[in-house]
Structure 1
Amino acid sequence: MSVSESKSQISLGFLTVVDGGDTGCIGGYLVLNMGGRPLEFHCTAPVRANRAQQILYGQSLTPFIYGELIARALIDKAALKPSVVFADQQETLAVQGLTQLPVALLKTGVESPERQALLGFEVEGFSIGVARQFEAQVETLSRYMRRFVETIDLDEPFSRIREAVEEAQRGARAA
């Protein structure tokens, strides 16, 4: 498959952050085709706030690290631009406004996404929250999700990312 063909196909992004405590937070970003096959993967080096940042940012520190630093770097670095990026952590949504891509909070079951400026809807047992600026794309996102759910559990890519990040950490420690 040529690069131009892979760029034109529908793809979905999945982004999560693994908090390693004292070692810092590591973000992982996986872009899949509609068959659930990986097209691209990136992870960050550990990001850790210093004491001054902890004091100055206060409660806004986690959204800053997860969204503005980690998620933005991963999305910007990726060659492929998926139709939507799914995140499984509310704090990651701080990247909205810093990227042109719709970023949706994906939650399993009936728990609804926190409604801080989010438009919530449900598809195939998943609760989704998107920024209101992407309201016009809700129907398209729902259609992609219904197609994707036919081939893979939407929670599963987040597990793949976490396992890949853990494997990368083990490899780094062994080196």
Structure 2
Amino acid sequence: MADSETTIAYFTVVEDQRTGWTGGLLLLNSGGRPLEFQCTLPVRPSRAHEILFGPTLRDHLIGEIIGPLLVKKCRTPIGLLCVDQPEALVISQSVSFPIGIVVEAAELEEGPITDDTLIGSGEVTLAGSRLRVPMEQVEAVAAMAKRLVDLPDAIEPFDRIREAIKEAQSQIARAQKPVIVPSAEAA
């Protein structure tokens, strides 16, 4: 089993108009090799959910439903959780390990991240990228980042998650055999 002090998890959610919201969590060792991968089945909110949650639906799905579910399913202890969506930072309220947003990955996904979005956070360098974490966790995360010197990239794991989700969805689609309904003439 991996030492949680040297494990780093990445979490993101992919929204697809056709399939819904699918979350993925990839846990890596200090060198960037995968230890564990978890993903959800697509979540499709009902029209009633869309109406009732309104503009907070995205926050709810990413930070309160999909993220906590994947963290709970993870069997390997997590040392640090990196996210690329600000809505995922709320997961920190229910876990004991630090959570940070990889600024460059978030900006690729979400557009410019302002300091207003990350009030009360400090910056740590992780594998050449900026990681914003709560001020009270800056020292602990900086010490952890020093142990993660072999991590080749802090942004690329999010791409792996998106590709793995895409592959899982295509496998599900291939496994579903088309239903052939006999025509009335064949009866």
With structure 2 as the length reference, what TM-score do the two structures score?
A: 0.80
From the superposition, tell whether residues 60 and 112 of structure 1 become closer, same or farther in structure 2 (CA, over 3 Å). closer
2:131 and 2:42 mapped to 1: Cα distance? Answer: 28
Distance 2:148 2:114 in 1: 20
Task: Say if 2:100 is the partner of 1:97.
Answer: no
Match of 1:41 in 2: 37
Equivalent residue letter for 1:29: L
- Which has the larger displacement, 93-102 or 54-63? 93-102
What is residue 152 of structure 1 aligned with on the other side?
152
The residue that corresponds to 1:128 in the other structure is 131
The alpha carbon displacement at 1:117 in A equals 4.3
Overall identity of the aligned pairs, in %: 36
- Does the Cα contact within 8 Å between 2:20 and 2:42 map onto a contact in 1? yes
Q: CA deviation at 1:149?
A: 4.9
Structure 1: state its 5+ residue gaps: none
Q: Compute the RMSD of aligned alpha carbons.
A: 2.2
**TM-score w.r.t. length of structure 1:** 0.85
The question of whether the paired residues in 1 share the 8 Å contact of 2:5 and 2:144 is answered with no
In structure 1, the partner of 2:138 is 138
**1:4-61 CA-partner distances (Å, limit 9, x unpaired):** xx24561001001111123111000011000111111100000121111111111211
- Greater Cα shift, 155-164 or 144-153: 144-153
CA distance in 1, matches of 2:40, 2:155: 21
Helix, strand or coil at the partner of 1:79: coil
The number of aligned residues is 168
Does the aligned pair in 2 maintain the 1:11–1:32 contact within 8 Å? yes
